[in-house]
Amino acid sequence: MGEIDLSMVNWARAQFILTVMYHWIFVPITLGLSFLCAFFESMYVRTGNEEWKKLTKFWMTLFGINFAIGVATGIILEFQFGTNWSNYSWMVGDIFGAPLAIEGIFAFFLEATFFAVMFFGWERTSKGFHLFSTWMVAIGSNLSALWILVANGWMQYPVGMAFNPESARFEMENFWEVLLSPIAIAKFTHTTSSSFVVGSFFVITISSYYLLKGRHVNMAKKSIIVASVFGLLSSLFTAFTGDESAYNNANTQPMKLAAYEGLFDGKRGADIVALGVLTSGKRVGDGQEPFAFEVSIPKGLSIMAKRELNGFVPGINDLVYGNEAEGIMSVAEKMEKGKAAVADFAAIREAGKAGDEQAKATALERFKVNQDYLGFGYLDTPEEIVPPVATVYYSFHIMVYLGSFFILLFMLYLYYSYKDTLEDKIWLLMLGFCSFFLALTASELGWVVAEVGRQPWAIQNLMPVKMATTNIGVGHVQTTFFMFFVLFGVLLIAEIKIMLKQIKIGPEGA
């Protein structure tokens, strides 16, 4: 293994984080607002009320602005796999590239085909066909998310493939196993439903602003009712899919679960921490108490992770140093097997170059014994498999607190809308005005939990991030990082100005 420039790895990570988190500002709005536009237009077609048409056009304009910026940042994101992560792209392109190609060929074309009709076909097509086009854009947007999340789900739980040591590539063996992986399904359902919440609060925030200003009152009330119903149902489903995601993490990524629950020592009948502050400076294996303060729910973690009261949930120490009683192998043992796999991998390549088929076959047989531990062979210390616990723990818990608050907020909006006293509840409208920013924060934190929580792996257990990068100088990555930082800042300022201008105009000028 050649020398790895860790500064280049960290800058490549930073650039990817910058692009993803900026891109993720726009994606959940797109996924949620696309369906809300379809609901609004369905009301127009059903009732023939021109107010619903004006309302639909207004939200559709904001959707279009957001969609355009989201596409631009998404393209930049995909290019980075080739520029900064070429080793990763080479080794997993056969698998990772397939769902991304389907996304481009099928889902994105579906969006693009009907996008023009949705925006410019109001007076050129029938009501029915225009409504159909709006629904197709909504479905296409969410199908795009499906294929991207299938690719990401495979990184979290690599299935349906085999590693070919001769070509040094992971090759797909079962497409349906990749598509129907429980991790992929859980990621898709949880990500899209949480995005529906973000889209709903986008509508509620702007509508609450109108009610506070006494402008476009009827439009705001109609928008709030539809968005609150959609958002409440989505919030409840998000909670359900979040629980399912935690259960899947317990079985496929136990270190991630242990990190976001702050569990250092595993136990049977493990409690779940409802509220807690981690001990400052706590490290794996240091003997300190994990929490300076905590309020726990007895046996809650065992129920969530194992679906039983006294199920054993491994902690960070168990996963790093092993737990013989529970059949958990230490990372040191996995590293030993991994280094044997790396050595046999090299021997296969050398024997192939030399034309020694016997030596190649022998090395291949040895490799197959330890190939599942290949990624561990590139680690330097057992503790390297521990992600930044505090970052993951606090991100997860803040996300959960906000998600619970959102359910209550949607219910309050629906209750006071039913009572027709929403305009008088200034305190609630002020909360609603802030709700989009809180929802976007929760959505971004969900990405932090999913991606930071699985570090140091680019592909779980098979490829560390440091092995996935391109062999280029750190200066190139630093230069493009600051270029993107400035570009994204300009795009964000431009979008905010355009959005504010459209909001000021309102639905009457849509």
Q: Distance between terminal CA atoms of the chain?
A: 60
Distance between CA atoms of residues 136 and 138, nearest Å: 5
Could you list the beta-strand ranges (E) of 124-251. 161-164, 169-172
From the list 429, 462, 392, the residue with the least C-alpha distance to 165 is 462
Chain segment 185-211, per-residue pLDDT in tens:
999 999 999 999 999 999 999 999 999
Tell me the average pLDDT across 362-384: 91
Q: Residue 29: pLDDT above 50?
A: yes
pTM: 0.92
pLDDT of residue 197: 97
Contact 484, 73 (CB under 8 A): no
Chain segment 422-435, per-residue pLDDT in tens:
999 999 999 999 99
Confidence of residue 98 (pLDDT cuts 50, 70, 90): confident
pLDDT of residue 76: 82
Helix (H), strand (E) at residue 274: strand 272-278
pLDDT of residue 262: 93
pLDDT of residue 397: 96
The residue with tokens 């009948």 is: 269
Confidence of residue 57 (pLDDT cuts 50, 70, 90): very high
Q: Burial level of 122, CB count in 10 A (0-12/13-18/19+)? A: middle
Contact 464, 397 (CB under 8 A): no
Three-state secondary structure call for residue 273: strand
CA distances from 183 to 31, 178, 247, 275, 400 (A): 20, 9, 10, 27, 19
Distance between CA atoms of residues 386 and 284, nearest Å: 8
pLDDT of residue 430: 96
Pairing of strands 312-313, 291-297: unpaired
DSSP string across 324-371: GGGTBPPHHHHHHHHHHHHHHHHHHHHHHHHT-HHHHHHHHHHHHHHG
Chain segment 251-302, per-residue pLDDT in tens:
999 999 999 999 999 999 999 999 999 998 888 888 889 999 999 999 999 9
pLDDT of residue 1: 45
Q: Around 112, how many Cα atoms within 13 Å sit in the side-chain half-sphere?
A: 8
Confidence of residue 3 (pLDDT cuts 50, 70, 90): low
Per DSSP, 270 falls in state -
Pairing of strands 291-297, 272-278: antiparallel
Three-state secondary structure call for residue 420: coil
Chain segment 134-166, per-residue pLDDT in tens:
999 999 888 888 988 999 999 999 999 888 888
Distance between CA atoms of residues 452 and 434, nearest Å: 27
DSSP string across 27-66: HHHHHHHHHHHHHHHHHHHHH--HHHHHHHHHHHHHHHHH
Q: Burial level of 46, CB count in 10 A (0-12/13-18/19+)? A: exposed
Could you list the beta-strand ranges (E) of 143-229. 161-164, 169-172
CA 447 distance to own-chain centroid: 4
456 upstream amide cis, omega within 30 of 0: yes
From the list 432, 496, 507, the residue with the least C-alpha distance to 60 is 507
